[in-house]
Chains A and B, each alone.
Chain A
């Protein structure tokens, strides 16, 4: 496990969200590369309440677009829990194409349903699948946390849908919580604006936080040395950690 530099405010906000201390259920985390978004999401996932189920989707893997999200979440939360989505897919494919059950082929079926020339037909199908998918999510007996990482790497059609129909449905699904992180985040829409909170991760300039981190990770540096590294990299987490690692390895040789 990689060590984690304190992100107290964001952690607090996340905890408040999942125990429903605040009304928002969509948390957007925006930060430049190397600011520790993924590490923060890992911390979120580790701290979910026991009754909550979570599914992690890294959008840099989503070359197939929207079908990847459906397919990944369905796999993470259990294929059997999505009967309405399966039926909707089957209905669209009923023109003689056999519906396949395994994950890869399940994704292929979704791709096939959404691969049509006419935009209005495609939108109609997407809307139907989306409704079925969220209906299935609402039937879970427990809260669901969906974590979408690397939003900036999503193909544009997927990014548009996440910022549009997907989050609008989340706003209506009271048992669904979503965290989205990336160098960019969805543009706020009226349909879910009241339901979201956005944070921008900043550089970590406090040497004390880094000192605690170094101690925890077993890096043998004093406060002055740490302050210098923080100053040189202006609190840029990925580069500070890489510097610590390079120095420790150099010293070990």
Chain B
């Protein structure tokens, strides 16, 4: 071992220093031609004879021999299917030296690499081309456009793995501070896009925020607006509704300055989605209408279809069912036009829901059936599960209880497969209801119990209330009246929490029934009277009739004959109506 090298190594303090001394010593032993080709070989992630010839055209007549010699060096390894590469440890050190000590040479080799890889027709070569392009300072705007367009293509064609690979490889240049600020912004932005699909929303948010900093640094309003919109999308996913709204609003302002109508339409639709969730339904409708106008202006059928579907959803919620139906029908036409099976399936399901509500049960069944076929075609388990559940609901209403039970069972399997606790809970509750109607009390109770656990897990007060009420009903049938009363009382509290008047009325009626059986007649009457008020408020004639009958029963037991007769007569009138 030579004293020179030992002395040098003894003076070092870091691994990197030591490593470079050894690599440099090795490089110094190479012939000028081999040294030149080794430096060139360090620039791309892999090389073969052809790549080396493109990078060092002046050595093209010796390249075959030099390539052979390169392969004997200890830091050169096989790159499967593509030739060879310099080991990542050594390559990193060499690139750092080249960048800081021979910047022109680095840029020249990068440009030549970009020129070589752009001519190759494979995904990995395109990624490699962009890797070299982002350090080229000659035409940064043009390069930035290439990067933006290529990554947009990957994103728009849902090729997220390649987007992840592209942004991951390009981050190497960002971290080494070799990429321009503009490119660094785009790389972080695309890393965010990939992260949203693959890693998770937090990682996406970190990358978008970094992109925003870079876009603000270079003063690019459009980049800033795109990133604010993306941040809003992530925040919407993370249930950070007001933060999302604030970012969308800011993006909208910038888009109005520099964006296209499509940008504006997209962000208006997003704002509407948040507002819908925040119960600001009229504001949501206004934004959807505005988005719809822009989508129509630019002729984006998919955007139009999505917005019509969203408008329909709001209208359905606002009990404007015929308007909702009209919008769903139009959305359906557009989804069919652009061939979006999933959109078609979702809309058919929504149409079925409206029809179910409008008592058009056979039409609802037909639409659910078609939606189910499409969900199966595209393989959306969640859509399949919710449609099977809906079909089961219709069948339960039509007294086709065993068919309903079979569909609920299948829906339950799929909900479990995709891990949707709420769907699972709703289906268990529905199964319990059918079992109750078959007098399978203990099975019903077991399913209600499981449903209750899941509703509590996801924090759905209404589901909890409905299930407690159902459990109370079973217990009442078993003469477990005090247990039933306790569950009814709890259900009542939850119905009041969520302002569900019908639920409240049904439960008050049930409580009255138990109290009547305990001979607590005045308490029963008070609850029946309150239930009656609520039934009248929501306009449920059948509920009103039942409670009038119950009031009549109490009055009869108190020998209040004329009051009894009046209430029975009115109850009969509503039933006959």
Number of interface residues of A (CB under 8 A): 55
The stretch that binds B, out of A6-14, A56-64, A79-87, A204-212, is: A56-64
* A242 touches which of B26, B79, B194, B380 (Cβ 8 Å): B26
List of B residues within 8 angstroms of A245 by Cβ? 26, 73-74
Does B88 touch A at the CB level, under 8 Å?
Answer: yes
Hey, which chain A residues are within 8 Å of B197, CB to CB? 119, 157
- Whether A232 contacts B9 by the Cβ 8 Å rule is yes
B559 within 8 A of A: no
Question: Is A238 part of the contact surface with B, judged by Cβ < 8 Å?
Answer: yes
Asked whether, in the complex, the Cβ of A157 is within 8 Å of the Cβ of B164, the reply is: yes
CB within 8 Å for A64 and B162 given contacts A120-B382, A121-B380: yes
Q: Which of A38-67 contact B (CB under 8 A)?
A: 38, 56-58, 60-67
Answer yes or no: A33 CB below 8 A from chain B CBs.
yes
**A-B pairs with beta carbons under 8 A, tally:** 139
Give Cα A66–Cα B198 distance, bound, in whole angstroms.
13
**Stretch binding the partner chain, chosen from B122-130, B237-245, B473-481, B528-536:** B122-130
Which residues from chain B contact A225 at a C-beta distance below 8 Å? 1
Query: In the complex, A19 Cα to B161 Cα: how many Å?
Result: 36
Instruction: Name the segment of B133-141, B152-160, B400-408, B490-498 touching the other chain.
Output: B152-160
- Contacting pair A63 B158 (CB below 8 A): no
By a CB distance below 8 angstroms, the chain B residues around A111 are 159, 162
What is the distance, in angstroms, from A230's C-beta to the closest C-beta of chain B? 11
How far, in whole Å, are A61 and B81 apart by their CA atoms in the complex?
8
User: Once the chains are docked, how many angstroms separate the CA of A57 from the CA of B79?
Assistant: 10
- Please give, as numbers and ranges, the residues of chain A lying within 8 Å of B1 by CB-CB distance: 221, 225, 228-229, 247
Interface of chain A, helix or strand or loop or mixed? helix
Q: Please, which residues of chain B bring their CB within 8 A of the CB of A72?
A: 81
Q: How far is the CA of A57 from the CA of B19 in the complex (A)?
A: 29
Count B interface residues, CB 8 Å: 53
Complex CA–CA separation, A189 to B45 (angstroms): 32
Chain B residue with minimal CB distance to A161?
Answer: B161
- A61 touching B124, Cβ below 8 Å: yes
**A244, A250, A252 — which one has the most chain B CB atoms within 10 A of its CB?**
A250
B74 contact from A120, A128, A241, Cβ within 8 A: A241
Interface residues of B in 485-512 (CB under 8 A from A): none
Q: Scan residues 1-41 of chain B and give those whose CB is less than 8 A from a CB of chain A.
A: 1-2, 5-6, 9, 18-19, 22-23, 25-26, 28-30
Known contacts: A61-B82, A65-B162, A155-B168. The answer to whether A160 contacts B2 by CB under 8 A is no
Q: Which of A2, A33, A239 contacts B22 (CB 8 A)?
A: A239
A216 contacts B by Cβ under 8 Å: no
Q: Is the CB–CB distance between A120 and B80 below 8 Å?
A: no
Q: Is the CB of A118 within 8 A of B26?
A: no
Q: Evaluate whether A253 and B29 lie within 8 angstroms (CB atoms) in the complex, with A246-B5, A247-B2 already known.
A: yes
B22 touches A243 (CB 8 A): yes
Contact B25 A33 (CB under 8 A): no
CA distance A247 to B19 in the complex (A): 14
B165 at the interface (CB under 8 A from A): yes
A233-B18, A241-B74 known; A66 vs B158 contact (CB < 8 Å): no
With an 8 A cutoff between CB atoms, is B298 at the interface?
A: no
User: Which residues of A in the span 69-85 have a Cβ within 8 Å of any Cβ on B?
Assistant: 72
Since A64-B124, A249-B26 are in contact, a sample of 17 more A-B pairs with Cβ atoms closer than 8 Å, ordered by chain A residue number, is A34-B87, A38-B77, A60-B45, A61-B79, A61-B124, A63-B166, A64-B161, A65-B165, A111-B159, A118-B378, A121-B379, A128-B379, A239-B19, A239-B22, A239-B89, A249-B30, A250-B29
A-side interface residues toward B, CB under 8 Å?
Answer: 2, 33-34, 38, 56-58, 60-67, 72, 104, 111, 114-122, 124-125, 128, 155-158, 160, 221, 225, 228-229, 232-233, 238-239, 241-247, 249-253
- Residue contacts A-B, CB under 8 angstroms, 18 given: A58-B81, A60-B45, A61-B81, A64-B123, A65-B164, A72-B81, A115-B159, A118-B378, A120-B382, A120-B418, A121-B378, A155-B168, A157-B160, A157-B197, A242-B23, A243-B22, A246-B22, A247-B2
